[in-house]
Structure 1
Amino acid sequence: MPSELTADSTFCDYYQQWVAMYKEGAVRDVTLRKYQLTKMWLSKLIPQLKLSELNRITYQRLLNDYASCHERQTTMDFHHQLKGAVLDAVDEGLIDRDPTRKAIIKGVPPKAKKQKYLNQFELHRLLNDLDLGPEISWDWLILLIAKTGLRFSEAIALTPADFDFSRQIVSISKTWDYKSGAGFVPTKNRSSVRKVQLDWQLVIQFSELTKSMPSDEPIFVQGKVYNSTANSVLERHCRQAQIPIISIHGLRHTHASLLLFAGVSIASVAKRLGHASMNTTQKTYLHIIQELENQDVDLVMRSISSLI
């Protein structure tokens, strides 16, 4: 850290330089924006608080103020965004003791959660409402994500060259930075680089759709791309099909949920979704896994009772 920082420097100034020193160029842009958002909240809540004044009481007060308008999980994320910088300041002798020790995480009651995925009947109604014409459209993107579980940024980065129609697979090796307009960027993690099997209908449909397109240009990108536009199109179809309204990312949840209910292993679902580990899959779809476990218990009991 720059030598001019002392215990009399504000924590805001320290945090800003800490992010510039250790995070810029080392984390993905989306993660960096989270650190920058945390810096904005520090400027709002404790603009003049000095490093020398940061102790368990002032730190807890900061968390409490933030928690007054955020849910507990968001407050926990805020705490984790700060803790690395605070511990480094302790190591550098700018703060006497770790003020984050035994911090209490609070938060406002969570809002009612919207439904994140559709059941098989609802998905059929959605897909039947799509207008799948001869030209690439958002409706085709909806179909593709529903059948593959791709992330939005992965799907819009696909080029005709990514499809191997003879082997019925699509290769995921990049994403499209639709937020800042930087074009092709790396995938979320190494596990996200993968090959996803396609059903024969998608193969026939997309081989026809992409046959006259440039092989190395993204299929779905025509000018500026907005996630909100795709969500609006999906919402309209959900309303017309008279099913719960979900987001484009909800199609990914729908895909995974249907696979799990069909008996596909967690390991296979994790690989298809590009999760870094099965733990991510288990955590994300815990409610479905628990429901399946209850079904397994019923099956075991029926099997045992039939032995007599």
Structure 2
Amino acid sequence: MATYQKRGKTWQYSISRAKQGLPRLTKSGFATKSDAQAEAMEIESQIKRGFVVDPIKQNIADYFKEWMELYKKGAIDEITYKGYRDTYKKLEIYMPNILISEITASSYQRVLNIFAETHAKATTSGFHKRVRASIQPLIEEGRLQKDFTSRAVVKGNGNDKAEQDKFVNYDEYKNLVEYFKNRLDPNYSSPTMLFIISITGMRASEAYGLVWDDIDFDNNIIKCRRTWNYRAKEGGFKKPKTSAGIRDIVIDDDNMSILKNFREQQKQLFEEMEIEPIHDFVCYHPFKKIVTLSAVQNSLSHALKKLGISTPLTIHGLRHTHASVLLYHGIDIMTVSKRLGHASVAITQQTYIHVIKELENRDRDKIIELLKKL
């Protein structure tokens, strides 16, 4: 039978384990007595079923470091792994020397709230998702009885990039595609990359890594098989983050014909200049070779200015716009998810929740109109 005691402003439970020949199990730090009772009842139930329940004698930061080195190091690229290292450092700052067994839902929420005071919501969300992922093995192994992250509310300091800054409307999107299409020139590579991203929704790293053998002109398919590490000075091919990144992207006859003509122009120019592009890249500058991402972004910004588009669209925003246009025009979200190379449709739903909500409202109006005719 558990006993409960208030210690200062928090509550503590204590559970007898005499029948198992073990000392009492005590845990404090609960905001309310009911919180303590809820966890204690769950642990007592496990003890009755024969489980040996012991608190984890390790602080959350040290545990997270061991977990990320065991499960993430070498399995993900260095850029993604950096996010886990940053989370570890943040845990050392915001949850110093706090044992995992002492963390409750309310104490974790308080930490998230403090973190959110100086960080954007997207940053806070990333921190929370990595912490939550790290404790899942403990829950699955029965070492942690309750997921203290499960009902956490993610906040932010309001410095997130405005939602409208991530996308442009359909007419602006069409104007951008036309702008890039009309400026395809083998003497430059940025318009080519922006054109490909705008009609495929590819990531920048995927467009960088695209070679001519990846384009199936007969079947109107662009094959995404690898990425290029444009962040590193030495470059280098990499595998996609997940198996979903390996995919075939279908495009239309007209745009494929434009790419085919561009290939012939590029081939002729490079032969005349005696240039042999490494790996036969599609997006390749005759002198600068592989241009920087900032150069591509500058080209996009210049296009926005020329077209009178006020939205400060990024290269990644161009990918978002492509996906949003497909969803707005009734393309199934599963199809869009596969086209983007998302690991799951849940990621697509979360990323484009604003579009989905708008489509739900539109469909609701359609339902009402239909019912009126009955």
Relative to the length of structure 2, the TM-score reads 0.66
Shift of 1:58: 7.4
* Contact in 1 for aligned 2:277/2:289 (Cα 8 Å): no
Task: State the distance in 1 between where 2:308 and 2:119 align.
Answer: 32
Q: Which amino acid aligns with 1:77?
A: G
1:99-248, aligned counterparts within 5 Å? 100=148, 105=153, 107-111=155-159, 112-130=162-180, 131-180=183-232, 181-211=234-264, 212=267, 216-221=279-284, 223=289, 225-243=291-309, 244-248=311-315
| CA distance 1:137–1:81, change in 2 (3 Å) | same
Task: State the distance in 2 between where 1:190 and 1:297 align.
Answer: 36
Moved over 4 A (4+): 9-15, 43-47, 50-62, 83-92, 95-106, 221-225
Task: State the distance in 1 between where 2:323 and 2:306 align.
Answer: 24
Task: State the distance in 2 between where 1:66 and 1:262 align.
Answer: 39
* Contact in 2 for aligned 1:157/1:184 (Cα 8 Å): yes
Deviates more, 1:269-278 or 1:233-242: 269-278
* Contact in 2 for aligned 1:55/1:99 (Cα 8 Å): no
Shift of 1:305: 3.6
Higher Rg: 2
In structure 1, the residue matched to 2:349 is 282
| CA distance 1:120–1:34, change in 2 (3 Å) | same
* Contact in 2 for aligned 1:59/1:99 (Cα 8 Å): no
Instruction: Give the match's secondary structure for 1:167.
Output: coil
| CA distance 1:218–1:306, change in 2 (3 Å) | same
In structure 2, the residue matched to 1:262 is 329
Unaligned runs of 5+ in 1: 1-5
| CA distance 1:167–1:40, change in 2 (3 Å) | same
In structure 1, the residue matched to 2:120 is 71
Task: State the distance in 2 between where 1:77 and 1:15 align.
Answer: 14
Task: State the distance in 2 between where 1:226 and 1:96 align.
Answer: 46
Q: Which amino acid aligns with 1:207?
A: K
* Contact in 2 for aligned 1:55/1:98 (Cα 8 Å): no
Q: Which amino acid aligns with 2:156?
A: V
Deviates more, 1:267-276 or 1:72-81: 72-81
Q: Which amino acid aligns with 1:226?
A: T
Relative to the length of structure 1, the TM-score reads 0.79
Q: Which amino acid aligns with 1:174?
A: R
Instruction: Give the match's secondary structure for 1:196.
Output: strand
Instruction: Give the match's secondary structure for 1:115.
Output: helix
Task: State the distance in 2 between where 1:100 and 1:117 align.
Answer: 35
Aligned length: 299
* Contact in 2 for aligned 1:116/1:246 (Cα 8 Å): yes
Q: Deviations over 1:97-152 (max 9, x none)?
A: 97946885554343343422222211233234443334342112111111111111
Shift of 1:83: 4.7
Shift of 1:171: 0.7
In structure 2, the residue matched to 1:293 is 360
1:33 aligns with one of 82, 85, 88: 82
Deviates more, 1:121-130 or 1:97-106: 97-106
Percent identity, aligned pairs only, is 31
In structure 2, the residue matched to 1:24 is 73
Task: State the distance in 2 between where 1:288 and 1:99 align.
Answer: 31
* Contact in 1 for aligned 2:121/2:154 (Cα 8 Å): yes
* Contact in 1 for aligned 2:334/2:345 (Cα 8 Å): yes
Instruction: Give the match's secondary structure for 2:166.
Output: coil
Instruction: Give the match's secondary structure for 1:195.
Output: strand
Deviates more, 1:275-284 or 1:229-238: 275-284
Q: Which amino acid aligns with 1:259?
A: L
Shift of 1:158: 0.4
Task: State the distance in 2 between where 1:148 and 1:66 align.
Answer: 37
Q: Is 1:273–2:304 an aligned residue pair?
A: no
Unaligned runs of 5+ in 2: 1-55, 268-275
Instruction: Give the match's secondary structure for 2:248.
Output: strand
Shift of 1:274: 2.1
Task: State the distance in 2 between where 1:280 and 1:91 align.
Answer: 23
Shift of 1:74: 2.9
